[in-house]
Chains A and B, each alone.
Chain A
């Protein structure tokens, strides 16, 4: 269908879409791509999901200095916690008296904060600051449980299934002081239960009242005095055991993000660790419950400021690639990494060649197909501190060039005051142009905010096959962007449930073939800085209306072939169950 003055139908459909009265429209919409047309609508306030974030202010001798390096904690995580078919959002705040938010999706693109009622609002106090969040089904009961990541003691809340949660941190064996900033969950040993990987920024000292001034990064490029990664094995009985050393994860870097994916398609999930102030790490899963540090051969030793690790097959070659943000500004030209997977457990950075290298002071960067054309696009957060007109750069470089300075001593770092550092940066929405190059379309779609962005949670909040965005901003209100894509591009999506595999099917890969083209998408357990996107598997299909093959590779090793299904629907697939008469999935409402 073509959009023309003589054919008003597309415009009508667009209007209907914008009014939110078309849940479960099969074909996303029927209008065609018009240059300059905006495909996202900012519905933050209208949807009732606008509570602002507040950075933690410290009250210790180093507070003025810490202020410049702790503008963190604005995070968001998506899951359908109440099983009503609509994805909900957990959002963190960080000040000592601030409450976290659990935005329950009302099913009409409005949300209600039920955090207090659910018992998950109290994530902050004098001794703990919320810094991230992860939904994961630790007890395989089919209900996503909530892990609130904190500087201090993180909290595991069991989802009781009645709209309420229970703090089970201690009985789960997870009560430990960590300056944690990121958690992901995947089943590294394929025993049917997801395990917990926690990334920590500062080493495990009391960050609120440090007993020593030497708790800052010892180097800008090779710092090894950070918190690193802590791994907890799921004992399959509601408890966890710390196994970091045993599984071979040895890093004490300043970890900001973790991302897992199966780099060599051997059925075992590998791990990328994004470290600030130094070398990122790549761990290959040996398939026997251990990992090998393959950093040198896989990606080499970098000296950059890794902030994000998201995996996705951006060039549709059947291998998962990795996107990592670093710092790229006038004063520091690091460039991001777009690690193209070479298929032999090595990667090549092609960020420059693809135009994805410069996103300023980068934070979360997420792969998703916003226009359903079959190519994974990228949305990237950026900006560190947006404050006064004066720049903090000369202060930091005055420190850096002092001879024999001890960077680990916080007292040597200049206070930032009201100065800005890589502030007011415009976010980037990179449209994937056929797997070779990306074009920034953020301004066109109104996604070029200059707030200090941190996390991006991608999900289809109205189940219309068009992926929406929730963006967390430090010390500011978030953004909820509704995708109002008016093209006729087709799509298909899957909700996967493991039986022998972990119930949330984290790590499951889906290969979908149409018109000779095969796409690979998978269930990830929380990849990307300060955010967790949906665990549902979404495919943009472009003009394809006929699917010739769907293959699911479950973490258990089972390969399940699903007969061709009609496009433009979500489907629920249960591991090992007959797939001969699968109907489009519908919500319970």
Chain B
């Protein structure tokens, strides 16, 4: 039953992602892409805000909007936009997800304490998204978000729990290239919770599924301090996390 439900959620997500632009938002999105092509960020942001407002569940529009905001360093504008829209459309899980990512996008340019505040706010939005739709992207995202917190906060076990659920969601459906992220993250979560054997098992399983993945190979090749360095390099709050969601609609099946 759970597997069936999970598969249904994945299917729902895929439909959301691949349903493509329709309505007035389509025209705004196309205008925004044109503006982006000529580095006209002011117009790009304007048209993308229109597109997202018109179709708040569209992950592509919102993701493109955030990427444009990153390039133009309009972090606060994006946060303000998502805050207002998510208040108006509180049931849109994808909107909450992107709102959370907008906080994450600002973290590398923030001071160390503001980073914590932003991360905490992002987590709140990711939780809202999970509550509304416990699908792969929401579970994976919140799970990863937990893993970024310093050990003292003991949030890694919650990250592991989310990532284990994400793994269950992805297992029965058609394999997507981005599913490799779950193997990496869940293994990292096990490592962060001192379950090295389980971490290696997940990375091994991931490598079976994705034999060319260099990050999995690196983790399996390294031990001790070297492994720690390889993992911690992925959780440096001063480095920008790639929050571009385009993999979701460009990724091919294996």
- List A residues at the B interface (Cβ < 8 Å): 220-222, 303-304, 327, 330-335, 391, 393-394, 397, 400-401
Are A333 and B112 within 8 A (Cβ)? yes
Which residue among A327, A332, A334, A391 has the maximum number of chain B CB atoms within 10 Å of its CB? Answer: A332
B233 interface hit (Cβ, 8 Å): no
Assuming the contacts A333-B236, A401-B120, asked whether A221 and B150 have C-beta atoms less than 8 A apart, the reply is no
Instruction: Kindly state the separation between the CA atoms of A335 and B237 in the bound complex, as whole angstroms.
Output: 12
Complex CA–CA separation, A401 to B118 (angstroms): 9
In the assembled complex, how far is the CB of residue A464 from the closest CB belonging to chain B, in whole angstroms?
A: 39
A333-B117 contact in complex given A220-B111, A327-B112, C-beta closer than 8 Å? no
Given A400-B117, A401-B116, A401-B120, residue A394 in contact with residue B111 (CB < 8 A): no
Task: Mark contacts of B174-201 with chain A using CB atoms, 8 A cut-off: 1 yes-contact digit, 0 otherwise.
Answer: 0000000000000000000000000000
Per the bound structure, the CA–CA distance linking A394 and B149 in Å amounts to 11
Flag if B152 contacts A333 (CB, 8 Å): no
How far is it, in angstroms, between the C-alpha of A304 and the C-alpha of B114 when the chains are bound?
11
Which A-B residue pairs are the 4 nearest by beta carbons?
Answer: A303-B111, A221-B111, A220-B113, A331-B150
- The proximity string for B residues 152-189 relative to A, scoring 1 for CB distances below 8 Å and 0 otherwise, is 11000000000000000000000000000000000000
- How far does the Cβ of B117 sit from chain A's closest Cβ, in whole Å? 6
Q: How far is the CA of A334 from the CA of B152 in the complex (A)?
A: 17
Question: Given that A221-B111, A303-B112, A333-B237 are contacting pairs, would A391 and B117 also be in contact in the complex, using a CB cutoff of 8 Å?
Answer: no
A401 to chain B: which residues have CB within 8 Å? 116-117, 120
Chain B residues, Cβ within 8 Å of A330:
150-152
Q: From B151, which residue of chain A is reached at the shortest CB distance?
A: A330
CA separation between A331 and B237, bound complex, in Å?
A: 10
B114 CB to nearest A CB, Å: 6
**Shortest CB distance B207–A (Å):** 30
Q: Is residue B251 within 8 Å, beta carbon to beta carbon, of the partner chain?
A: no
The 8 A CB mask of B116-160 against A (1 = contact, 0 = none) is: 110010000000000000000000000000000011110000000
| B57 to A: closest C-beta gap in Å | 27
Q: Assess whether B238 is interfacial by the CB under 8 Å rule.
A: yes
**Which of A220, A327, A391 is most buried by chain B, counting CB atoms within 10 A of its CB?**
A220
CA distance A334 to B113 in the complex (A): 10
Residues of A within 8 A of B152 (CB): 330-331, 391, 393-394
> A393 to chain B: which residues have CB within 8 Å?
150, 152-153
For A332, what are the chain B residues with a Cβ–Cβ distance below 8 Å? 112-113
With A331-B150, A393-B152 already in contact, 13 other A-B pairs whose C-beta atoms are closer than 8 Å? A221-B112, A221-B114, A222-B111, A327-B112, A330-B150, A331-B116, A334-B112, A335-B238, A391-B152, A393-B150, A394-B153, A397-B153, A401-B120
Flag B74-115 by CB within 8 Å of A: 1 or 0 each: 000000000000000000000000000000000000111110
A327: chain B residues within 8 A (beta carbon): 112
- Asked if A304 and B116 sit within 8 Å, CB to CB, the answer is no
Q: Are B113 and A400 in contact (CB-based, < 8 A)?
A: yes
In angstroms, how far is the closest chain B Cβ from the Cβ of A303?
3
Report how far A334 CA is from B116 CA in the complex, Å. 12
Nearest chain A residue, comparing its CB with the CB of B236: A333
Bound together, the chains give a CA A393 to CA B120 distance in angstroms of 15
Looking at the complex, which one of B120, B151, B153, B238 makes contact with A333 (CB distance below 8 Å)?
A: B238
Are B236 and A221 in contact (CB-based, < 8 A)?
A: no
Residues of B within 8 A of A391 (CB): 152
Q: A397, B238: Cβ atoms under 8 Å?
A: no
- Could you name 10 residue pairs across A and B whose Cβ atoms are closer than 8 Å? A220-B111, A303-B111, A303-B114, A331-B116, A332-B112, A333-B236, A333-B237, A391-B152, A394-B153, A400-B116
Report A-chain residues with C-beta under 8 Å of the C-beta of B238: 333, 335
Pick from B113, B114, B153 the residue with the most CB of A within 10 Å.
B113
Chain A residue, CB-CB nearest to B149:
A331
Q: How far is the CA of A304 from the CA of B237 in the complex (A)?
A: 14
Assembled-state Cα–Cα distance A222/B153 (Å): 25
A220 CA to B237 CA in the complex, in Å?
A: 17
B236 neighbours in A (Cβ, 8 Å)? 333
In the assembled complex, which residues on chain A have CB atoms less than 8 Å from the CB atom of B117? 400-401
How far apart are B195's CB and chain A's nearest CB, in angstroms? 19
Return the chain B residue nearest A278 by Cβ.
B111
C-alpha gap A19/B28 in the complex (Å): 83
Give Cα A333 to B120, complex, Å.
16
* Cα–Cα, bound, A294→B206 (Å): 52
Q: Chain A contacts of B116 at CB under 8 A?
A: 331, 397, 400-401
Partner of A304 from the list B112, B150, B151 (CB cut-off 8 Å) is B112
Query: Would you give the shortest CB distance from A158 to chain B, in whole angstroms?
Result: 44
> In the complex, which residues of chain A have a beta carbon less than 8 angstroms from the beta carbon of B113?
220-221, 332, 400
B145 → chain A, closest Cβ, in Å? Answer: 14
B237 / chain A contacts, CB cutoff of 8 Å: 333
The CA-CA distance from A575 to B111 in the complex, in Å, is 47
Q: Which residues of B contact A335 (CB under 8 A)?
A: 238
CB distance from A12 to the nearest CB of B (A): 40
Chain A residue nearest in CB terms to B235:
A333
Q: How far is the CA of A87 from the CA of B178 in the complex (A)?
A: 66
Residues of A within 8 A of B110 (CB): 303
Distance (whole angstroms) from the CB of B73 to the closest CB of chain A: 15
Q: From residue A315, how far is it (CB to closest CB) to chain B in Å?
A: 25
Q: What residues of B have a CB within 8 angstroms of the CB of A394 in the complex?
A: 152-153
Minimum CB–CB distance from B201 to chain A (whole Å) comes to 27
Q: How far is the CA of A244 from the CA of B117 in the complex (A)?
A: 36
* Shortest CB distance B153–A (Å): 7
In the assembly, what is the distance between CA of A514 and CA of B236, in Å?
A: 44
Question: Contacts A400-B117, A401-B116, A401-B117; is A304 near B153 (CB within 8 Å)?
Answer: no
Smallest CB gap from A401: residue in B: B120
B residues less than 8 Å from A304 (CB atoms): 111-112
What separation, in Å, do the CA atoms of A240 and B111 have in the docked complex? 39
In whole angstroms, what is the CA distance A220 to B115 when docked? 11
Contact partners of A303 in chain B: CB under 8 A: 110-112, 114
Contacts of B153 on A, CB cut-off 8 Å? Answer: 331, 393-394, 397
Instruction: Kindly report which residue of chain B lies nearest to residue A397, judged by CB atoms.
Output: B116
Bound Cα distance from A393 to B113, whole angstroms: 12
Question: In the docked arrangement, what's the CA distance between A401 and B112, Å?
Answer: 13
- Rounded to whole angstroms, the CA-CA distance of A303 and B118 in the bound complex is 15
- Interchain nearest-CB distance for A332 vs B (Å): 4
Bound Cα distance from A327 to B150, whole angstroms:
15
**CA distance in complex: A391, B154 (Å):** 12
Chain A, residue nearest B153 (CB): A394
Complex interface: chain A residues within 8 A of B120 (CB)? 401
C-alpha spacing A401/B155, complex, angstroms: 16
Q: Nearest residue in B to A352 (C-beta to C-beta)?
A: B238
Bound complex: CA of A334 vs CA of B112, how far in Å? Answer: 6
In the complex, the chain A residue whose C-beta lies closest to that of B114 is: A221
CA distance A303 to B111 in the complex (A): 5
Q: Which single residue of chain A is at the shortest CB-CB distance from B124? A: A401
CB of A55 to closest CB in B, whole Å: 24
CB distance from A403 to the nearest CB of B (A): 9
Which single residue of chain B is at the shortest CB-CB distance from A302? B111
Query: CA–CA, A334 to B238, complex, Å?
Result: 9
Q: In the complex, what's the smallest C-beta–C-beta distance from A3 to chain B, in angstroms?
A: 33
Contact with A along B210-254 (1 / 0, CB 8 A): 000000000000000000000000001110000000000000000
Chain B nearest CB, measured from A280 CB (Å) = 13
When C-beta atoms are compared, the residue in chain B nearest to A279 turns out to be B111
Residue in B closest to A330 when the chains form the complex, CB atoms: B150
CB distance from A154 to the nearest CB of B (A): 31
* Alpha-carbon distance between A334 and B151 when the two chains are bound, in angstroms: 17
Query: Which chain B residue has the least Cβ–Cβ distance from A220?
Result: B113
A334 to B111, CA, bound (A): 8
